[in-house]
Structure 1
Amino acid sequence: MSLDVLQLNNGMLSIELSRFGGSILSGSHRGVPIFQPTPTGGLASLRHGAEASFPLVPFGNRLEGNTFTFSGNRFVLAPNAGDPFYLHGDGWLASWQVVSHNETEACLRYVHDAIPPSPYAYEALQHFSVEGGRLTVTLSVTNRSAFALPMGLGHHPFFPKTAGTRLIAKAGRFWTERAGHLPDQPGPIPDALDFERGNLVPRQWLNNAYEGWDGKALIEWQEHDLCLEIEAQPPFRHFMLYAPEDADLFCFEPMTHLPNGHHLPGFGGLSILEHGQSLVGTMTLSPRLLSEGR
């Protein structure tokens, strides 16, 4: 089998990975899909037609104006994905090296050299493992630039959205959206978009950041007797909720920082990494049948 596509399978979970974009192509629990593979314009979409999840590195979402200022220096990044703004980092548009792979584990590596005018040079690693009913993904980035830079991590999974899809996730604050799909203002979470006690995922357009997340979420698909527990360790303390209007998919995106963090106070949670320093985050996805209980 070509190492372009990697299979992980332990009899309960089946996960298909691609080194193109460092992406998850599909995943199922006892034969029932837990992702919604979707064309995105990422490298895996170009190679395979769709991807189910891709990594956000060296930071996620959009960079307003494609510029930022740090330590008195102004840096420029070129648009990279058909969007006016630099979008979702580089990892989803690059080929990753297969470091190791067996029936239940895989490790992928991506090294990015600074391409002027961008200052970002870094190494990213992803480790995937399936054990029992759990998929664990550990993502890291190490600054290889000669100077400190703001960096972050995230995941961009696509999930099925049915009429009865319910989400439980606790957060502290909500960001509205402004022109350019950029975050606007923080404030209280609207009732219809407050998922602390559980709420249906609405069929309206969604593209909003939540901060102060406790790192836990639960997605329920009553129609399929299936749910998915998501748990992300610090530094994942934010998430994006994205869905096209009336689409059969939505995205719950764990992130270490807010979108457009380069232009927010405190860099929106982006970590300032010196040369050689790393940022590491682990996320677990645990599907189970609702009828089985906890």
Structure 2
Amino acid sequence: MPDLHPLTEVELQHESLRLSVCPALGGAITRLSVDGIDLLRPWDGSDSVRRTGCFVLAPFSNRVGDGGFMHEGTRYPLRNLSVEHPLPIHGVAWKRAWSLTEQTSTRLRLTFMHQPEGDGVLDWPFAFEVEHEIKLDDAGVALQLRLRNIDSRSMPAGLGWHPYFLRHAACRLQFEAQCVWQNDAQNLPSRKAPIPAEWDFSAEKSLQQPDLDNCFVGRTKPITIRWPNEGVELTMHASESLDHLVVFTPPADMGFFAVEPVSHANNALCMDDPIANGMRVLRPAETMQVSCKLQIRRITRTGQ
């Protein structure tokens, strides 16, 4: 593929569905719209990947406490890659440029490789490569991630996506989970608890302002987001292994919220049993693969 200028967007289109990606900005999805209606928060054009619409979480999701983690008897320190967060967060891939390796009008493939060389060992101590395939079709958007351990040692691994959905008026949300992690003062999980009534979206309801930045555990069914005033419904069909769901609902005037299908609990790397909390251990040359289908359909607008 030809080299791209910094922060150049690549666009896919299938009928009324449009999706843009910026490979140099964390490989992030910068726009997703149907019939001109934005579903993800549109990128503001800045050099901050946190202002895009969606980015990949690899090789771990969310925060890591304690300044590092233990793996097979060795402690590995991690540095913070985001000035906006006091702890290491969201892995490495979102803070690095990706390569565009395949592209058609409705499909593209992005790749990223990490080598723990120099200061990079403090970003993540193991070598890995990750591939992101994005495809548009009649049903919506198909996303697939493959993470491969290219180190000589085993490595802990996790995957997920971090989409920021636009908070159109009267937005409604539905998902089911078994329980939720309550957080401590550092926003790290401290206690697994039953889901409070105000956080229970097992029946579809208006998003309101539940002030969530929490990881739900035991998701098995699809997640549905409806924008009735815009006449759009989006259903996320995530891999069975993406059975954790991080839900982030900042104040409504921020204009967005996040519903993140991920493979493990926040801070699972530092828990007594990381594997029981969703972390995988990949042997050298072993690959982890997950997928997420965003099924998008038009519905009758409210009042019509």
What TM-score comes out, normalization by structure 2 length?
A: 0.90
Which residue of the other structure, out of 12, 16, 23, is the alignment partner of 2:20?
Answer: 16
Instruction: Kindly provide the amino acid, as one letter, of the partner of residue 255 in structure 1.
Output: V
Aligned residue number for residue 75 of structure 2: 74
Instruction: Kindly provide the amino acid, as one letter, of the partner of residue 273 in structure 1.
Output: L
Aligned-pair CA distance for 1:264: 2.2
3-state SS, counterpart of residue 31 of structure 2: strand
**2:255 is equivalent to residue 248 of structure 1:** yes
Structure 1 unmatched runs, 5+: none
Structure 2 unmatched runs, 5+: none
Aligned residue number for residue 101 of structure 1: 103
Aligned-pair CA distance for 1:213: 0.3
Higher strand share: 1
| Residue-by-residue CA offset, 1:215-273 (whole Å, 9 max, x unaligned) | 41100111111111110012111110002123321000000111101122431201011
**CA pair 9-97 structure 1, distance change in 2 beyond 3 A:** same
Q: Quick check: 2:147–2:288 contact (8 Å CA) kept in 1?
A: yes
What is the aligned residue count? 288
Distance in structure 2 (CA, Å) of the matches to 1:94 and 1:185: 33
**CA pair 38-215 structure 1, distance change in 2 beyond 3 A:** farther
| Residue-by-residue CA offset, 1:93-112 (whole Å, 9 max, x unaligned) | 11111111110000000000
Instruction: Kindly provide the amino acid, as one letter, of the partner of residue 116 in structure 1.
Output: V
What TM-score comes out, normalization by structure 1 length?
A: 0.93
Aligned residue number for residue 37 of structure 2: 32
Q: Quick check: 2:32–2:42 contact (8 Å CA) kept in 1?
A: no
Aligned-pair CA distance for 1:286: 1.4
Distance in structure 1 (CA, Å) of the matches to 2:251 and 2:50: 22
**CA pair 45-58 structure 1, distance change in 2 beyond 3 A:** farther
Aligned residue number for residue 296 of structure 2: 287
Aligned residue number for residue 131 of structure 1: 137
Aligned residue number for residue 262 of structure 1: 269
Q: Quick check: 2:66–2:270 contact (8 Å CA) kept in 1?
A: no
Q: Quick check: 2:228–2:300 contact (8 Å CA) kept in 1?
A: no
Where do 1:1-294 residues align within 5 Å?
A: 3=4, 4-19=8-23, 20-37=25-42, 45-46=46-47, 50-82=51-83, 83-114=85-116, 115-117=120-122, 118-246=124-252, 247-267=254-274, 268-291=277-300
3-state SS, counterpart of residue 192 of structure 1: helix
Aligned-pair CA distance for 1:31: 1.5
Q: Quick check: 2:199–2:210 contact (8 Å CA) kept in 1?
A: no
RMSD of aligned residue pairs (Cα, Å)? 1.9
3-state SS, counterpart of residue 126 of structure 1: strand
Q: Quick check: 1:38–1:158 contact (8 Å CA) kept in 2?
A: no
